Amino acid sequence: MSVRDDSAGIEYFVKRWESNPMLRPRISKVTVNIGVGESGERLQKAATILEMLTSQKPSYRRAKKSIKEFGIRRGEPIAVVVTLRGERALKFLNLVLDAVGRRVRRSSFDDYGNVSIGIKEHIIIPGVKYDPDLGIFGMDVAVTLERPGYRVMRRRRKRSSIPRRHRISRDEAVAFFEHVLGVEVV
Q: What per-residue confidence (pLDDT) applies to 140?
A: 96
Q: What per-residue confidence (pLDDT) applies to 10?
A: 87
Ranges of residues in the chain whose predicted pLDDT is under 70: 1-7
C-alpha torsion 67→68→70→71, nearest 10 = 110
Supply the CATH classification number for the domain 24-185: 3.30.1440.10
- Cβ neighbours for 129, distance < 8 A, ≥ 6 positions apart: 123
Q: What per-residue confidence (pLDDT) applies to 7?
A: 64
Q: What per-residue confidence (pLDDT) applies to 3?
A: 43
Q: Are 186 and 105 in contact (CB under 8 A)?
A: yes
